[in-house]
Structure 1
Amino acid sequence: MNLPRTQPARTPPAPRRSAVLAVLAAAQFTVMLATSIVNVALPQIRAGVGLSDGGTTWVVNAYTLAFGALLLAGGRAADLLGRRRVLTVGLALFAVASLAAGAAASPQVLIAARAVQGLGAAAIAPAALALVMGLFPSGAGRGRALGVWGAVSGAGGAGGVLLGGVLTQAWGWEWIFHCVALGALMVLAAVRVLVPGTAPALGRGSGRFDLLGAVTVTLALTCLVWGLTEARGAGWTGGRVLGALAAAATLLAAFAVIELRRPNALMPPRLFGMGRVAAGNLLMALLGSVWIALFFFLPLYQQQVLGHGPLATGAGQLPLAAANMLGSALAPRLSRRLGATTTVTAALLTEAAGLLWLSRISADGSYVTDILGPSVVVGLGLSIAFVQLTELAVDGVPAQDAGLAGGLVNTTRQVGGAIGLAALATLAGSVTAHAGVHEPHGEALTAGYRAAFTVSAALLAATALLAPPLTRRRRARTAVVPAPPAPRKTRTG
């Protein structure tokens, strides 16, 4: 498939770059907002559309599944077709799907609209990150830009819970989707005005899309994420779950073989030999496994145990969001002063400490005594780690692969989150079921949440131990060439 070429992009002047960064950060905020904004409103959505228990979970899963499975294809499409073009198409698709979700009168329409939302998000996230990398070359400027990126990513997750509570309580669940659609349209208009056009990053010789590789990895990730989300309800030994995970493993193996043999590979193996890309993505997957679970369990504890309403639950996320924004602003400065390895290790240990603090929640506790302090500590550690790992995951990546690198780091976070949430939800459910035999319902739920937070803290502590050997920049070895032998003196006479 031959791909069109556009005129080369012009780098905007410094004042305008700030405006462009704000627009691209707003695009990322919209994507993150759609991930969490439905969490508080799920009971109202279920009643309004007539969803079953399984259908309710797919209001979340349909978006997550499409988003996670298509990110690699979206990132490569951005490199091949032009990042601004892919970003605008993704925003338009995202806005239309959001409007359809808000107007849905049946479960089928709502779940399909959420899947199309995920498709749009899979185009938006890698294209926007690649544009940020193009505007800010490696160095202090890129560090500050990724600090903004991290701030809006964390704020989108926490802000979604707050905004979902406010809109659901004031105007009804439909408005959570209408609000997201309005935001996407505003960002789309700003992109058209402020973001300069970009030429396809890959040269003419690379202008073919690896369709076979894209289909294979998309099917593999679809099976993986679907199997993991089903495991939360059906258990890990269910036939459908095991079949989906086996299919995912087979397809991923096939994808690896395909990529080794194709000159225009969707995921060229050379990418993992650049800078610290492999280390950044591995650690991001481990961070993501805890990140998504945090925003799943914390609102549940507030509503089901402490008895908070949607608005109070959303407002309770504000300190976490503020800590996230502060940590994202501090991350570039800490990295310059302490180095990447020390910064990411300290951040992971900080978040682990906050989660260990959360593991002490009680059934008769309160927001101030049980949630406020640890959520601030978690927010600081999470944001600093996210900014630093994003920078490591694009370390040394050339401009022509920036979209793919952005898609990869988002994929590892999403897939890591799906694995972590499935495992932690299964653990929490098992502990709750066991405790429910001899404890009141609130005590049993709290025991399950405590177990999830304890394991999350242990996982992040182990991740912090992995960070130093993985992220230290290794010095290139220089070959030692022996000096040539001195010329032999000859006698004349």
Structure 2
Amino acid sequence: MALVVIASCQLMVVLDITIVNIALPHIQSSLRFSTTSLSWVVNAYTLTFGGLLLLGGRAGDILGRRRVFVFGVLLFVVASLLGGLAHNSGQLLAARALQGVGGAIASPTSLALISTTFGEGPARNRAFGVFAAVSAGGGAIGLLAGGMLVEWLDWRWVFFVNVPIGLLIVLATPRWIRESERHPGHFDITGALTSTVGMVLLVYGFIRAAQDGWRDPLTVVSFAAAVAILALFILVERRSRQPITPLHMFADRNRAGTYGIMLSLAAAMFGMFFFLTLFVQNVLDFSPLAAGLAFLPISAIIAVGAGLASQLLPRYGPKPFMVAGALLNAVGLAWLTLTDVHSTYLGSVLGPMLVFGLGMGLQFVSLTLMALSNVPPHESGAASGLLNATQQVGGSLGLSILVTVFGTAGRNAADTQVASFLAQATPVERLRFRRTGVLPPPWADEVLTSGVSAAFITAAVFTVVGALIALLVIQVRPSDLERLKGGIGPGL
């Protein structure tokens, strides 16, 4: 029962990333988001989640993991309720940010609770296996659940569904999970805040540039402020007794390279899901449920890639899988750039999506293994937490860059499509366009597709950078391979 409680929390937090993705087009039309500002629905969650993840884990060690776990779940529940009740974009984004805070508190604490609840040996190994399976499968469940909720009820239910689940977790926790021993320590609040605020400003700068151009005063100010605050963050971390981000983790070239590869992979991955969700629903005219089903094959192929990598890692080491995975990502994204308004799911989307997913599966196992390689036991939590934080922050930053590319390409395409529309439109259609500024579907689809293709080109560049890092930075020694043969096998 303790494992059910812990795994349910992790499922709720992981599921919330993808369940909202399927609802994005409906959220956009209901709360009047532009396509570029819509990315904040994703980024508001991932930035606070990734920025405060390490602080959440530290809070559990200092204050007691069960207590902090319950608080994080309650905060997530309240934020989900507020998100479902939101009547404008500002309210929804505030709720998403609060959800991220709750997830950052609950998720690392739930993982740590496995160590305190299950003794070393088969029981703990099985518990970690269930936790990993839930983390991996939560994305697929979210896609399907999001499609069903939006199609059969309303987009608001992708938030409301968390409320009963979260309340059941809170009620069950005191009965089935014991409190952990507290460990004295220091909260690096300044480090957590400066890193999160700096990244928010950096992301805001890119999205502002997509809407108002690079010369806009607020764009320039946000970039300048982001650089200053992130520089302050590095200074704070270097002087802190117990930093939220142990900078010495980056001294090892393999670990630093691993974080760089994860950054590039997450940047491409978040962008691919964001833009493909808009494409299949707005251009291919898929219903929310059909869109959820359309993404399920990628979850299956990720599992295939991860299983293949785990079996072959002891023989070849992680580097070949990092390089091959990143190159497969680049091929899949380059293939997606060929999509246009006449594309079909089977002919133009499924194939490249499967190629990209196979690359993801090959990389995830390799990156996790390399991030924890040669790390002292007392720092393994920080190393894995930093990898997770890199994934969330990299995804947010990458999505904001891709949205900027999308906005620029979309504006250029819009000029051409508006001229084409006005040349063919009836007087009534011209009058309607002048009143609303909205192009009808055939021309609007051309604008969206042009922007999406440009974004996929940039995403492919991200993955090529990841492949170069894997090729030039990662070094696997013969001793590392010997250790892998003793510590990893088909059952990973």
TM-score (norm 1): 0.79
Q: 1:236 to 1:151 in 2, by over 3 A?
A: farther
Code of the residue aligned with 2:393 in structure 1: it is: V
- 8 Å CA contact 1:435–1:447 kept in 2: the answer is yes
Contact 1:98/1:180, CA 8 A, preserved across alignment: yes
Question: Which is worse superposed, 179-188 or 31-40?
Answer: 179-188
Mapping of 1:330-341 within 5 angstroms? 330-341=308-319
* Pair 1:162 & 2:144 matched: yes
Per the TM alignment, residue 108 of structure 1 is displaced from its structure 2 partner at its CA by 4.7
Question: CA offset at residue 368 of structure 1?
Answer: 0.9
Structure 2: distance between partners of 1:224 and 1:138: 43
Using the TM superposition, give the Cα deviation of residue 414 of structure 1 relative to its aligned residue in structure 2, in angstroms: 1.9
Q: 1:358 aligns with which of 336, 339, 348?
A: 336
Q: Secondary structure at the match of 1:472?
A: coil
**1:153 CA displacement:** 4.5
User: Measured at CA, do residues 210 and 131 of structure 1 come closer, stay the same or move farther in structure 2, by a change above 3 Å?
Assistant: same
Pairs within 5 Å for 1:265-414? 265-273=243-251, 276-414=254-392
Q: What residue is the counterpart of 2:14 in the other structure?
A: 32
Distance in 2 separating the partners of 1:307 and 1:464: 35
Q: Which runs of 5+ in 2 are unaligned?
A: 418-442, 480-492
Deviations 1:80-137 (A, max 9, x none): 3344443332122112221232234555543332221111111233334555688999
Quote how far apart the aligned CAs of 1:463 are. 1.3
Structure 1 counterpart of 2:198: 220
1:303-341, Cα deviation, whole Å (9 max, x unpaired): 222122222212111111222233334432232332111
1:442 and 2:445 correspond? yes
CA shift in 2, pair 1:390/1:231, >3 Å: farther
Amino acid in the other structure paired with 1:91: V
Distance 1:148 1:334, change over 3 A: farther
What CA distance in whole angstroms lies between the structure 1 residues aligned with 2:113 and 2:455?
A: 37
Q: Which is worse superposed, 449-458 or 178-187?
A: 178-187
Q: What is the one-letter code of the residue matched to 2:274?
A: F
Distance 1:331 1:133, change over 3 A: farther
**What is the alpha-carbon distance in structure 1 between the residues aligned to residue 458 and residue 119 of structure 2?**
38
Question: Which residue number in structure 1 is paired with residue 466 of structure 2?
Answer: 463
- Is the deviation greater in 125-134 or in 33-42? 125-134
Q: Distance in 1 between matches of 2:455 and 2:119?
A: 40
Alpha-carbon distance in structure 2 between the residues aligned to 1:107 and 1:227: 19
**Displacement of 1:361 after TM fit?**
1.8
SS at 1:38 equivalent: helix
| Secondary structure, counterpart of 2:242 in structure 1 | coil
Change (3 A) 1:338 1:28: farther
Q: Which moved more, 1:191-200 or 1:208-217?
A: 191-200
Q: 2:214, 2:141 → 1: CA distance? A: 32
- Report the counterpart of residue 422 of structure 2 in structure 1: none
Q: Distance in 2 between matches of 1:216 and 1:385?
A: 30
CA distance in 2 between counterparts of 1:143 and 1:391 reads 16
Question: Once the 2 structures are TM-superposed, how far is the Cα of residue 251 of structure 1 from its aligned partner?
Answer: 1.6
Per-residue CA shift, 1:440-461, capped at 9, x if unaligned?
4433432332222233223213
- Confirm whether residue 250 of structure 1 aligns to residue 228 of structure 2: yes
CA contact (8 A) 1:276 1:396 kept: no
Question: Deviation string for 1:69-88 (max 9, x for gaps)?
Answer: 32232233234334444333
User: Do 2:28 and 2:38's aligned partners in 1 also have CA atoms closer than 8 Å?
Assistant: yes
What is the CA deviation profile of residues 7-38 of structure 1, one whole-angstrom value per residue up to 9, with x for unaligned ones?
Answer: xxxxxxxxx9xx84x76554343223222322
What SS class does the counterpart of residue 248 from structure 1 fall into? helix
Q: Aligned to 1:99, which of 38, 60, 81?
A: 81
The equivalent residue for 1:171 is: 153
Alignment of 1:480-491 (within 5 A): none
Could you tell me which residue of structure 1 aligns to residue 488 of structure 2?
A: none
Which residue, 111, 119, 128 being the options, matches 2:101?
Answer: 119
Instruction: Please say if residues 317 and 476 of structure 2, whose CA atoms lie closer than 8 Å, have aligned partners that are also in contact.
Output: no
Alignment partners' CA distance in 1, 2:409 and 2:194: 37
User: What is the match of residue 485 of structure 2?
Assistant: none
Structure 1 counterpart of 2:446, which letter? E
Q: Provide the rounded CA distance (Å) in 1 between the counterparts of 2:471 and 2:126.
A: 23
- Aligned counterparts of 1:394 and 1:134: Cα–Cα separation in 2: 20
Instruction: Give the structure with the larger helix fraction.
Output: 2
Specify whether residues 116 and 437 from structure 1 end up closer, same or farther in structure 2 by C-alpha distance, changes over 3 A only: closer
Whole-angstrom distance in 2 between the partners of 1:435 and 1:55: 19
3-state DSSP class of the match of 1:41? helix
What corresponds to 1:238 in structure 2? 216
Identical-residue share of aligned pairs (%)? 40
**Are 1:433 and 2:436 counterparts?**
no
Relative to 1, partners in 2 of residues 1:30 and 1:288: Cα closer, same or farther, differing over 3 Å?
A: same
Distance 2:117 2:325 in 1: 27
Kept after mapping to 2: 8 A contact 1:347/1:384: yes
How far apart, CA to CA, are the structure 2 residues paired with 1:138 and 1:385?
28
Q: How far apart are residue 427 of structure 1 and its match?
A: 1.7
Whether the 8 Å CA contact 2:191–2:243 is kept in 1: the answer is: yes
The RMSD of aligned alpha carbons is 3.5
Pick which of 353-362 and 24-33 moved more.
24-33
Structure 1 residue 285: Cα displacement: 0.8
Which stretch has the larger CA shift, 396-405 or 27-36?
396-405
* Structure 2 CA distance for aligned equivalents of residues 37 and 73 of structure 1: 25
Rg (Cα) greater in structure: 1
Query: Structure 1 pair 313/346, CA: closer, same or farther in 2 (3 Å)?
Result: same
Find the counterpart in structure 1 of residue 181 from structure 2.
Answer: 199
Cα distance, 1:302 vs structure 2: 0.8
Residue 12 of structure 1: aligned partner: none
The structural deviation recorded for 1:188 is: 5.0
Q: Distance in 1 between matches of 2:170 and 2:304?
A: 27
Instruction: Classify the secondary structure of the residue corresponding to 1:365.
Output: coil
Q: Deviations over 1:187-217 (max 9, x none)?
A: 55666566664435x6x4xx22233333333
Partners of 1:389 and 1:133 in 2: how far apart?
A: 23
Q: Which moved more, 1:156-165 or 1:294-303?
A: 156-165
Q: Which residue of 2 aligns with 1:264?
A: 242
Deviates further, 149-158 or 94-103: 149-158
Q: Tell me, what secondary structure is at the counterpart of 2:21?
A: coil
Q: Give the match for residue 3 of structure 1.
A: none
Partner of 2:22, secondary structure, is: coil
User: CA offset at residue 462 of structure 1?
Assistant: 2.9
Task: Give the structure-2-normalised TM-score.
Answer: 0.80
Q: 1:99 to 1:220 in 2, by over 3 A?
A: same
How many residues align structurally? 453
